[in-house]
Amino acid sequence: MSASQSQSLASSSAEAYDRLSQLRPSFQQTMLRIKNPTASLKFYTEVMGMTHVDTYDFNDMGFSLYFLQSFDEGAKPALEPGSVDAHKHLWSTQGTVLELTHNHEDSGEVYHAGNEEGDGFGHIAFNCDDVYASCKRLEEQGVTFKKKPDEGRMKGLAFAYDPDGYWVEIVPRSDKSEIKQEFNLSQTMMRIKDPARSLPFYRDGMGMTLVRESHYPEANFSNYFLATLPPGTPPPTHDPQDRDASKGYVGALHGPVLELTHNHGTENDPDFKHKNGNEQGKRGFGHIGFLVDDVDEACAAIEAAGGELAKRPEGGKMQGLAFALDPDGYMVEIVKRGGYGDAFQPYK
């Protein structure tokens, strides 16, 4: 490809991403597969303080979806999971939910928590005021740990296990935080091959803001933190590479960030590819999702930018929603903001 052709392609992608960003994409969900809804719902609601906001049972297709969300004190809505009001909230929220998918007959499949060779998904995380006190309380409730706050090189943060073995990072809030709830869902971490491709997709296309950027050359990796800022929120004024300012800003956010971890050198290996969580025998993490104003227009813009669709809006039983593939092949669900019709469904 000539230099002029490369420049033209980059310009076309930038224009397509600009079209996509005009559809107001917002980071709305992270999906994990679970074995036992009773155990998982108890962990995330009673232990991690989330609210069960909605449920979908698709008995004809053999699965159920449970949606949970973190709210600060006094902000929790009174919703009956499965109700029209719950659906309306779910597909209009300015926040981000954790979607737990239960396949009714999973034939003994053990879901893969990630973090083995070649895995892309890493963990979800919760922020709290005092990592040591909160981890002590978690341990008293029977929660087990991959890493306790005083273990390893990185003191003051921890990794707990949820009932399916997914890693749950426990991270300290910053002193700028005004959050009263003990825990708030604060991040989803995915590994990426090439920041030069992933950052434009999420920042320029999906409308996220790069709020923190950390480089560790001695350990050969970098972290990029992106957030969907609520409407009316002024963009941050700090340099994302300013360690103290960016850490303080991210540590005070109530909504979760998308943490993209780049292991240096993978971008130069043409054969390298992360597992996206949907491969047979390695299923666990499923996808992240975004709300947009127009699903068809969003899909057209993604394709115009050179992206691929795993499911078109008109495909399958659930018409009106789509799945795109990000530059690493992770599934990205695209759902119409507000849903369709008086029942506020995500599909037609």
What's the token pair of residue 224? 């990029």
SS3 assignment, position 306? coil
Short-list 342, 281, 318, CA closest to 116 = 281
Is residue 169 flagged as an active site residue?
yes
Cα dihedral 33→36→39→41 (10° resolution): 50
SS3 assignment, position 141? coil
What's the token pair of residue 7? 């420049």
Please give the backbone phi and psi of residue 226, each rounded to the nearest 5 degrees, phi first.
-125, 145
Catalytic residue among 169, 213, 259, 333: 169
Strand 121-128 with 167-172, pairing: parallel
Query: Hunting for tokens 């659906």 — which residue is that?
Result: 87
Short-list 105, 64, 114, CA closest to 285 = 114
225: exposed, middle or buried (C-beta count within 10 Å: 0-12, 13-18, 19+)? Answer: buried
Q: Say what angle helices 3-21 and 295-304 make with each other, to 10 degrees.
A: 170
Short-list 325, 122, 131, 337, CA closest to 228 = 337
SS3 assignment, position 216? strand
What contacts 25, CB < 8 A, 6 or more positions away?
Answer: 205, 206, 207, 208, 228, 290, 291, 292, 298
Q: Report DSSP state, residue 116.
A: S
Other CB atoms within 10 Å distance of the CB of residue 345? 17
29: annotated binding-site residue? Answer: yes
Q: Report DSSP state, residue 230.
A: P
105: annotated binding-site residue? Answer: no
Please give the backbone phi and psi of residue 161, each rounded to the nearest 5 degrees, phi first.
-105, 135
C-beta separation of 71 from 64 below 8 A: no
**Binding-site entries:** 29, 99, 123, 169
Binding residues for Zn(2+): 29, 99, 123, 169
Q: State the catalytic residues.
A: 169
